[in-house]
Amino acid sequence: MMPETLSAAPSAALRLLTDRDALRANWQTLDRLSGAARAGAAVKANGYGIGARIVVPALFDAGCRTFFVAHAIEARDLLDLVDPQSLRVLHGPVTDADAEWMKATGITPVINSLAQAGRWRRAGGGPCDLMVDTGMNRLGIPMSALGEDILKLLEVDVLLSHLTAAEEDSPLNAIQLTRWCEARAIVQHERASLANSAGIALGADYHGDLTRPGLALYGGVPCAALDGAIRQVVRPQAVIMQVREIGAGDPVGYNATFVASAPMRVGTIALGYADGYLRCWSGKGVMRCGDRSLPVLGRVSMDMTVIDLTNAPDVGEGDWVEASYNLPDAAAASGLSQYELLTLLGSRFSR
Ligand X SMILES: *Cc1c(COP(=O)(O)O)cnc(C)c1O
Q: What angle do CA 194, 338, 268 make, to 5 degrees?
A: 155
Residue 197 near ligand X by CB under 6 A: yes
Alpha carbon 184 to chain centroid distance?
Answer: 28
**Footprint (CB under 6 A) of ligand X, residues 119-138:** none
Supply the DSSP string of 296-342, one letter for each residue: EES---SS-EEEE-TT-TT--TT-EEEE---HHHHHHHHS--HHHHH
Cα gap 70→199, rounded to integer Å? 19
Active site residues: 44, 254
Q: How far is the CB of 110 from ligand X (least distance, A)?
A: 8
Question: With respect to ligand X, which residue has the nearer C-beta, 102 or 216?
Answer: 216
Q: Which stretch binds ligand X (CB under 6 A): 79-87, 210-218, 235-243, 261-269?
A: 210-218
Amino acid in the structure at residue 70: A
Positions in 135-164 near ligand X (CB under 6 A): 162
Q: Give the separation between CA 305 and CA 296, rounded to whole angstroms.
A: 7
| CA gap 231, 215 in Å, rounded | 12
Q: What are phi and psi of 6, to 5 degrees?
A: -65, -30
In the complex with ligand X, which residue's Cβ is closer, 67 or 273? 67
User: Is residue 207 a contact residue for ligand X (CB under 6 A)?
Assistant: no
Provide, rounded to whole angstroms, the least separation between the CB of residue 212 and ligand X. Answer: 4
- CA dist., res. 324 & res. 329, Å (int): 9
Binder among 146, 151, 215, 233 for ligand X (CB under 6 A):
215
Kindly report the length of the chain. 351
The conformation of residue 85, written as its DSSP 8-state character, comes to G
Residues contacting 2, CB < 8 A, separation 6+:
none
User: In terms of CB distance, is 62 or 271 closer to ligand X?
Assistant: 62
- Angstrom CA distances, 261 to 39, 86, 202, 227, 258, stand at 53, 58, 51, 40, 9
Judged by CB under 6 A, which stretch of 2-10, 116-124, 141-149, 212-220 contacts ligand X? Answer: 212-220
User: Of the two residues 68 and 258, which places its CB atom closer to ligand X in the complex?
Assistant: 68
Q: Does 42 sit near ligand X (CB under 6 A)?
A: yes
Minimal distance in Å, beta carbon 320 to ligand X?
Answer: 29
CA distance 63 to 41: 11
Site for ligand X in 82-111 (CB under 6 A): 90
Instruction: Compute the least distance from the CB of residue 15 to ligand X, in Å.
Output: 24
Site for ligand X (CB under 6 A): which residue of 88, 91, 179, 212?
212
Q: Which stretch binds ligand X (CB under 6 A): 142-150, 209-217, 251-259, 320-328?
A: 209-217
Output the smallest distance, CB 219 to ligand X, in A. 11
Cα–Cα distance for residue pair 186/166, rounded to 1 Å: 24
Whole-number minimum distance, CB 166 to ligand X, in Å?
7
Q: Which residues bind ligand X (CB under 6 A)?
A: 42, 44, 90, 162, 196-197, 212-215
